[in-house]
Structure 1
């Protein structure tokens, strides 16, 4: 978990007992799994208060700030603001650049990407030979050459990210090689208008053109309406993450994709130790011994899923270039526990670069290892797409503030809280009189 002063975003120290080789370590660089619980954030005076405005002004792009304020409900404003802060914090951390230098672009399908990743210069140390220099950003080491840094991010040639927010949580995922998508499915999202669902057939009728027949069969196999609705939410979240990965949004041909879900314990155990060579996978007991006690709190049960797309693979054959992980949130205490009706699902999709739908080609230009899944780097791709799923880390809003501004932000929040207490005290005195 992140420290009291936001140590998670700045801490560059390796974990105690980390036995990962440098070759395998390259597969975890800039693989972020972040989540913020907006129900735990209560800015005073809501969007008009100094705390919210301070954070809003960290976003340099005016159109992005306007989008945040267009939402009617304050909870939606919070989600929108936090998601935009997360994307910039992730890009700045990965590239080693300043927060305000990051420019976020969007494809025609509204998929966000690090637009100026090759133009913005990584902060570097001075070298004696005047050649390249490097700096550790706490997750990766970047190198900037004389040409102004147009080399992308070391160990993350296809650095990309995706965000989602619904219910209590805002989530961000990023990947160094695979294209990624994420979807947060809240427990109260399944309603038809203002009424609750009384039978699974109502779902089938409403989503008839988006569910694959075999997915309907999976849902019907569940015991009871609650379990059936939970399985539907999982499948729908998979479809959303898949479409967001590609950048097609709701334009994806959902009914052509068949998702098969497995409560795969292997993907859940020791999720943070996701860099072991598959040929040298350690036992669960041995892996646990190599991790600090505090780190074990980050583990969460991740279910897995596979995809088969009609017309792409043989019927029922999974596509080996895609992997999917479903994280119940908050994490289950035991991977065998059954999620309850209050469980959020954070679903992560990892897919090939060939899946990208980018009408204007701007996102495509940011990728440095195009078609990695089908060229001479096939081995690298195979190891990356099937590595274990990292677990999510809970962050506070303060952790998303640039380090050089964090103290100022914390002072502002403290002053706001003090003012609120004074006003409450005055109001209480007035009531007594």
Structure 2
């Protein structure tokens, strides 16, 4: 088991992983049946790979942090689609153990926390093919405040305009995912401020929030990853019901405000239970 206060940041590069049919089937078999069907419903292999790695990151993290066997882990989703652990966690150091996953482009990432609610988002630097950069960017104009929009549009090079857009978008999505909100949340309620994308803070409904922390960093070439974590009281109703300590005392909340670790790359073997690693190793060696 790895405890580390329940705070973890993992990622996996799916573009560098080319599993055989046997390897993919083996990894599917370690997951519950309902998870298997949610993966195989995708037609494209790239989508299946991302879905499988997303599940393995979730189950692997829960197993390693809490010691729950894969077959006993119960992960459900709220009506808004936020994944949460159904199993009851009896650990005073992990009163609100929660996690969030994201995938885009070449990467899948997971972030977890013990007291704060946490959200993670990945954005790949996609260059539009059927429209100009300005046409593409204009599609997002209603999601940003006038200050944010000004920062985006003051960049002079198309690539820089896209970069600004994606970084702001990445932060907003991480916040939405942290609170467990659905598509109906008005992103213009959030206004992000930063110093060269460090010391990031957010205004919510026009007021600076002291109860949120944000991090933004590059994740490989052409990808950004952001993490948002804040007080459980911000969780939407359906998600708040899944938390064991939604009303965290201020002293406990602030005493637990520790810097998260950097995102750490994971291998397939690392995500599996120890009891299955040798079988996977043998299978992989036969294939190669």
Shorter chain as normaliser: what TM range? over 0.9
- Cα distance between partner residues in 1 of 2:164 and 2:36: 36
Q: Which residue in the other structure is 2:280 paired with?
A: 409
Shift of 1:390: 1.7
> 2:85, 2:98 within 8 Å by CA — same for their partners in 1?
yes
- Paired residue for 1:384, among 256, 262, 277? 256
After superposition, the C-alpha distances for 1:372-391 in whole angstroms (9 at most, x for unaligned) are 1xxxx313322434x32320
- Paired residue for 1:225, among 158, 178, 202? 158
1:183 aligns with 2:121: yes
- Paired residue for 1:73, among 41, 44, 48? 44
Q: Which residue in the other structure is 1:429 paired with?
A: none
After superposition, the C-alpha distances for 1:103-154 in whole angstroms (9 at most, x for unaligned) are 1010000000111134xxxxxxxxxxxxxxxxxxxxxxxxxxxxxxxx2x34
1:34 aligns with 2:10: yes
| Structure whose CA Rg is larger | 1
In structure 1, list runs of 5 or more residues that go unmatched.
Answer: 1-9, 13-25, 119-150, 265-302, 331-341, 418-433
1:255 aligns with 2:188: yes
- Paired residue for 1:51, among 23, 28, 37? 23
- 5 Å-filtered alignment, 1:206-217, equals 206-217=139-150
Q: Which residue in the other structure is 1:367 paired with?
A: 243
1:352 aligns with 2:231: yes
- Cα distance between partner residues in 2 of 1:196 and 1:406: 47
Shift of 1:204: 4.8
> 1:325, 1:389 within 8 Å by CA — same for their partners in 2?
no
Shift of 1:205: 2.8
Shift of 1:40: 1.7
> 1:165, 1:184 within 8 Å by CA — same for their partners in 2?
yes
- Paired residue for 1:328, among 218, 225, 232? 218
- Paired residue for 1:172, among 89, 104, 110? 110
Question: What TM-score do you get using the length of structure 2 for normalisation?
Answer: 0.93
Q: Which residue in the other structure is 1:308 paired with?
A: 203
Shift of 1:368: 2.9
Question: What TM-score do you get using the length of structure 1 for normalisation?
Answer: 0.63
- 5 Å-filtered alignment, 1:5-24, equals none
Shift of 1:409: 0.6
- 5 Å-filtered alignment, 1:120-135, equals none
Cα RMSD after superposing both structures: 1.9
